[in-house]
Amino acid sequence: MLKKVYIVDDDPLSLFLAKNILTLYNINCKSSCYIDANQALDQLVEDALTGDLPDLVLLDLNMPLMSGFEFLRRLGSVCRGLEMECFVAILTSSIDEEDKKRCAESALVIDFLEKPLTNSMLHTITKAITKKNGPLPDNVPGREQI
Amino acid sequence: MDKTLQSPKFYLFLLENSNDLISIIDEQGNYQFVGGSVKAILGYSPEEMVGNCAFGYIHEEDRDATAGALNNALGEKLASLPYFRFRHKTGEWRWMDCTVSNMVDNPFIRGYVTNTRDITEKVEEERRKLRAQAHYESMFYNHPDAVFELHSDGCFTKVNSSVSQVLGYEDSQILGVHFSRFVHEQYLPLAMEAFVSTMQGNSRYLELQAVRQGEEKVYLGITIMPVIVEGEIVSIQGIAKDITLQRKLEEVEREQAEQLRNIMESVPESFFSLDQSWHFTYANAHYASYIGKSRQEIVGKCIKEVFPAAADLSTFYSECVKVLQTGLPSSFEELIYYGDGRRLSFQVFPSRNGVSVNLVDVTEKAAEKNRLEKLALVASKTTTGVVMLDRFGRIEWVNSAFEETTGYGLQEAYWQYPGDLLGGEEAEGLVQSKIRKKMAKGKPFKGEVVNYSKNGQQKRFKLEIIPVLGEDGQPVKYISIRYDVTEIRQKEDQLLKITRDLSEQIRNLQQFSYMVSHNLRAPAANIQGLVALIGALSKDTPFFDEAVSKLALAAGNLDVVIRDMNHILSIRERSSLLKTEAVNVLEVCEEALSCVLPRLKGGGHTISLNINKNFTLSSNRVYLLESLKQLFSNAVKFRQADKELMLEVNLIQMKGKTELTIRDNGIGMDISLGNKDIFQLYKRFHQGYEGRGVGLFLVRTYLEELGATIRVESAPAQGTTFTLKFKCHA
């Protein structure tokens, strides 16, 4: 089950929606909303240093100041530096194939989701993460990456 | 003997047959007695003369001298008179030698006895000898050439005054000295041989070099002959002539002749001479090789025999005859038909015994001339600009097409460098230096250049420069060919611009459709999601009402995007109906400001509009107003909270362009992050400010429709400057 999820989107409506869908899916999931991608990135760096990375980051692509692609680039270099892994799922209203291709180039991205977020999407992602990482321990609030 | 001595007849007979004339004269000279031999000696009988005065018979010229001598002799016993002339009975004068014996005291005689002998023959012989001697001496001493006599031992015995002049020595330094002392050693054998030969009785002429005092050499032509006395050669006489000058002249003449011969033999033209019967007297090597015969086969032969083709040369024959008759040279050309027909150029000069002919085969030259004439015709009639350059790259000739395209005729262009003549501010220096490098290497150049015509018009030419190489491989000339491609390039440029504009528009459209689809989808997706969420929530949950209100918000967002689309499309749609008018820029700025400034709500501001109040722009007022409103509104919106707004608008007119800059002191932005995205739809650069990212997209859309461009300069906290560039001003 997903315990800790960050949602990065410039649209407050989208944030509201995603947060509530997540809560509906998993009542114990602790989700944080970031309307400013920079803040989210700062938090992730801090999490990486304390070993408390979220299970998943839901990332919008089309944002002012820092686009989703720029976010991925920076996060990627942080993770490589710390030899850690962080799972990102793109959650966008874009249905552009080019965007999809660009995102697939990033090793962090495990899925490309078209808005709106649904239960079944969350289910698929959870399964994918489990497959990669092994079953998520229910009672442990975070994971350590070595 | 004693008996005969005593007979008077015996004495008379003796007197009568004597060779001498014996007579007795008195003191006055009158004959007292005349011997009988007078008849034989003077033709008179003694009786005719006795009683007459002897002086009457003596030559007038000799009379005084004879009388004087006789007078002197009267006191002597015996005296000799000088020779005198005595008249013969025939009237002829005879020379006489006379001795007078004083026998006055002799009782038998009582007078002066004269003993006279006819010496006419002897006197005449002596006079002849004297004359001969004078002749000889005159010949010897007065001869203008150097005359000398050598003893049989070879030493000088006699010299005239010219000898010392010729040899440069005093007579005393010459006389008694052997001749070999004065002969140049090179000529000694010759001189010795001549001397010996002459001593054997042969006269000789020889030429040798003598050495003057001071080592100066002098050429002498010497005639020597033996002097024979009584069959014996006693000495040698010679006459020497200074022939140095003559020798030098001969030398010069020989050299000149040699030079002339060398010239004639080395010039690559044919020379020959003909005598009056058309026979060759001379032919140079070139002529011999031209007609393919040896000189021996030519000289002495008739021209018709040597050169049968000459039979066709009717002009040649008639001209030669004319030259012979008039003595004036003649030059002409004639075509002869042998082989493929040759054109010959003749120059005929009169010479001593005929004519001298200079012959040049001008067939190739004539063909070349013909070819060049045709080429020149082509070059002058073509529409391509042709220029001939000298080896330094200076213009020597231009054709009329060059003049038509550039405006420069040959007079103005002559001796100029094309780069100087046609270069202008935009003529590419790189191309020029490339051309110069190619030309210096003697390699052809092909490329395109920007040139300026005389009236300042910019022209594009396809330029080809072809070097003409000399025998040494170095360029002696260049031919430059210019095709005017100005129009083609202009059209190409237009096409290129259209293509660029089109692809830009396509890119913009793609961007537009992407953003539209994304921004349409975003609220749609939200609606979908919210609907699903609401469906899953019970009405009692506190989120339910919030979700419903969010649903309304999402629907509103969708509506806004649809309105934006409508607005943008309407701008594009209306553009075809756009009215172009003279827009007063200052007025439009003021109007835009009056719409925007109230939003400051009384906040302080400094506005400066540096625009000429009469300046108008050929544009559309509404679109310009909308653009300015948006830009000014941004300046108000993104002002620094702690600073008074400062806004500066400047208008700069440039060649064919008008630039409007709008500078503010607002919060600015890091444009390196978004670079040109700033003018794209739904792009936002500031968090915490209202806005959908539509304003600058609209500004760009308006300006594009007006044919204007916009660019931005900005930095965080440094303010922002927008520059609007309009193509032309009204």
Predicted local confidence at residue B730, as pLDDT: 46
Q: How many CA atoms lie within 13 A of B688 on its CB side?
A: 3
Long-range CB contacts (< 8 A, 24+ apart) of A39-42?
Answer: A40/A6, A40/A8, A40/A71, A41/A66, A41/A71, A41/A74, A41/A75, A41/A78
Q: Is A75 within 8 Å of chain B by CB?
A: no
Mean pLDDT confidence for B541-568? 88
Nearest CA in chain B to A20: B533
Residue A18 above 50 pLDDT?
Answer: yes
Q: Which two tokens stand for residue A139?
A: 């009672």
The Cα-based distances of A93 to A100, B347, B531, B552, B565 in angstroms read 11, 104, 16, 19, 18
Within this chain, do residues B84 and B106 fall inside the same structural domain, yes or no? yes
CATH of the domain at B195: 3.30.450.20
Predicted local confidence at residue A8, as pLDDT: 95
- The reply to whether residue A24 touches residue B686, judged by beta carbons under 8 angstroms, is no
Within this chain, do residues B34 and B148 fall inside the same structural domain, yes or no? no
Within-domain flag for B261: no
d(CA B451, CA B431): 11
d(CA B44, CA B36): 9
- The reply to whether residue B533 touches residue A21, judged by beta carbons under 8 angstroms, is yes
Segment B149-172, tens digit of pLDDT: 999 899 999 999 888 888 889 989
Residue A138 above 60 pLDDT?
Answer: no
Total tally of structural domains belonging to chain B: 6
Residue type at B263 in one-letter notation: I
A4-133 to CATH, choices 3.60.10.10, 3.40.50.2300, 3.30.540.10, 2.30.110.10:
3.40.50.2300
Segment B273-312, tens digit of pLDDT: 989 888 998 888 888 888 888 888 888 888 888 777 666 6
Segment B468-525, tens digit of pLDDT: 888 888 888 999 998 888 889 889 989 999 999 899 888 888 878 877 777 888 889 9
Q: Is A67 within 8 Å of chain B by CB?
A: no
Average pLDDT, chain A: 84
The SS3 call for residue A145 is: coil
Segment A38-96, tens digit of pLDDT: 999 999 989 888 888 899 999 998 887 788 999 999 988 887 777 777 889 999 987 77
Residue A141 above 50 pLDDT?
Answer: no
- The reply to whether residue B526 touches residue A62, judged by beta carbons under 8 angstroms, is no
Helices (runs of H) and strands (runs of E) counted in chain B: 25, 27
Predicted local confidence at residue B339, as pLDDT: 64
Within this chain, do residues B655 and B702 fall inside the same structural domain, yes or no? yes
Predicted local confidence at residue B491, as pLDDT: 92
Residue B411 above 80 pLDDT?
Answer: yes
Q: Which two tokens stand for residue B511?
A: 């961007």
Nearest CA in chain A to B544: A20
Contacts of A94 in chain B (CB under 8 A): 518, 521
d(CA B487, CA B470): 37
The Cα-based distances of A73 to A59, A109, B571, B674 in angstroms read 13, 11, 38, 16
d(CA B408, CA B389): 15
List the B146-151 sheet strands across, edge first.
B156-159, B146-151, B232-242, B217-229, B204-211
By the 8 A CB rule, do B608 and B648 touch? Answer: yes
Segment B99-120, tens digit of pLDDT: 988 888 888 888 888 899 999 9
Within-domain flag for B138: no
Predicted local confidence at residue B176, as pLDDT: 92
- The reply to whether residue A14 touches residue B526, judged by beta carbons under 8 angstroms, is yes
CATH of the domain at B623: 3.30.565.10
B528, B536, B684 ranked by CB distance to A24: nearest: B536
Within this chain, do residues B187 and B326 fall inside the same structural domain, yes or no? no
In eight-state DSSP terms, residue A137 is: P
Contacts of B693 in chain A (CB under 8 A): 64
By the 8 A CB rule, do B394 and B376 touch? Answer: no
Average pLDDT, chain B: 86
More confident residue, B214 or B466: B466
Within-domain flag for B91: yes
Size of interface A-B (CB pairs under 8 A): 73
- The reply to whether residue B521 touches residue A24, judged by beta carbons under 8 angstroms, is no
Within-domain flag for B9: no
Q: Which of B218, B248, B278 finishes a domain?
A: B248
Q: Which of B462, B484, B506 finishes a domain?
A: B484
Within this chain, do residues B476 and B499 fall inside the same structural domain, yes or no? no
Work out whether strand A30-34 and strand B204-211 pair parallel, antiparallel, or are unpaired. unpaired
Within this chain, do residues B180 and B211 fall inside the same structural domain, yes or no? yes
B550/chain A closest Cα distance in angstroms: 7
Q: Which of B330, B365, B400 finishes a domain?
A: B365
Within-domain flag for B175: yes
The Cα-based distances of B463 to B114, B399, B401, B701, B711 in angstroms read 136, 15, 14, 43, 38
By the 8 A CB rule, do A18 and A9 touch? Answer: yes
Within-domain flag for B349: yes
Segment B636-680, tens digit of pLDDT: 999 988 889 999 999 998 888 899 999 999 998 887 765 567 887
Predicted local confidence at residue A139, as pLDDT: 44
**Could you say which residues from 85 to 114 on chain A have a Cβ atom under 8 Å away from some Cβ of chain B?**
93-96, 114
Q: Which two tokens stand for residue B120?
A: 């006419």
B683/chain A closest Cα distance in angstroms: 6
Predicted local confidence at residue B676, as pLDDT: 64
B500/chain A closest Cα distance in angstroms: 24
A74/chain B closest Cα distance in angstroms: 14
Within-domain flag for B130: no
Within-domain flag for B601: yes
Residue B717 above 80 pLDDT?
Answer: yes
The SS3 call for residue B223 is: strand
Within this chain, do residues B306 and B223 fall inside the same structural domain, yes or no? no
B419/chain A closest Cα distance in angstroms: 53
B427/chain A closest Cα distance in angstroms: 45
Domain boundaries, chain A: 4-133
Predicted local confidence at residue B425, as pLDDT: 55
d(CA B64, CA A111): 182
**Burial profile B82-107: b = 16 or more Cβ within 10 angstroms, e = fewer:** ebbbbbbeeeebbbbbbebbbbeeee
d(CA B721, CA B726): 16
Q: Is A39 within 8 Å of chain B by CB?
A: no
Residue B398 above 60 pLDDT?
Answer: yes
Residue A146 above 70 pLDDT?
Answer: no
**Burial profile A81-115: b = 16 or more Cβ within 10 angstroms, e = fewer:** eeebebbbbbbbbbeeeebbebbeebebbbbbbbb
Contacts of B682 in chain A (CB under 8 A): 62
Domain limits for position B361: 267-365
By the 8 A CB rule, do A144 and A137 touch? Answer: no
Work out whether strand A56-59 and strand A4-8 pair parallel, antiparallel, or are unpaired. parallel
Predicted local confidence at residue B673, as pLDDT: 62
Residue A136 above 60 pLDDT?
Answer: no
Within this chain, do residues B423 and B560 fall inside the same structural domain, yes or no? no
Residue A143 above 50 pLDDT?
Answer: no
Residue B30 above 80 pLDDT?
Answer: yes
SS3 letters across B552-614: HHHHHHHHHHHHHHHHHHHHHHHHHHCCCEEEEHHHHHHHHHHHHHHHHCCCCEEEEEECCCC
Within this chain, do residues B227 and B335 fall inside the same structural domain, yes or no? no
